[in-house]
Amino acid sequence: MLNNFLPNQHVKNIFQITPESLKEKGIKGIITDLDNTLVEWDRPNATPKLQEWFEAMQKENIKITIVSNNNRERVQSFSDPLNIPFIFQARKPLGKAFRKAINDMGLMKEETVVIGDQLLTDVLGGNRGGFHTILVVPVASTDGFFTKFNRLVERRILNWFRKKGMLVWED
């Protein structure tokens, strides 16, 4: 049961995920969370470095869809200037948004990674859907109201994985 929360991979930040490393695995698409994965939950726009990361992925024909539990206004105002498709109010970890994202990208789950900062939404949803999951360290040390509860539960799960030697994590 707890293995549903174990990511296939974990990295310090999104920038450690390169087009080359994804292509080596046969990956053609990314489903990524927005808040505290790509930018801080209260930052309205992409940083220049993040814009370069998106451009590098698109240059290598790696499709991207932002899948967020946040509202339309938040996700659309971030995604539209970048011309990146998005799904808002995704209800992760439920699978509907993940399936919609791969259908919209014209990809199979085996060709797609799910990237996020939360075990209870991104990793659980991705793992249950049969995707390769990548957990990133949250980019902000603060969270929105609803995420704070999830973090308490996540810490317990992460500590259990650490004790079992299943996950090495730098704080």
- Going by C-beta distance under 8 Å and a sequence separation of 6 or more, which residues neighbour residue 20? 60
Judge whether 129 and 99 are in contact, CB under 8 Å: yes
Judging by DSSP bridges, how do beta strands 9-11 and 132-136 pair with one another?
parallel
87/68 Cα distance (integer angstroms): 6
How many Å is the Cα radius of gyration of the chain? 15
**CATH fold label, 2-163:** Rossmann fold (3.40.50)
Residues of the chain with pLDDT under 50: 171
87/160 Cα distance (integer angstroms): 32
Identify each DSSP E strand in 43-157 by its residue range: 63-67, 86-87, 112-116, 132-136
- pTM for this one? 0.89
Tokens read off for 16: 């450690």
- CA 62-50-14 angle, to 5 degrees, is 70
Phi, psi of 43 (to 5 degrees): -90, 125
Which residues are 114's β-sheet partners?
Answer: 31, 133
pLDDT at residue 22, rounded to an integer: 98
pLDDT in tens, 47-85: 999 999 999 999 999 999 999 999 999 999 999 999 999
Domain ranges (residues) in the chain: 2-163
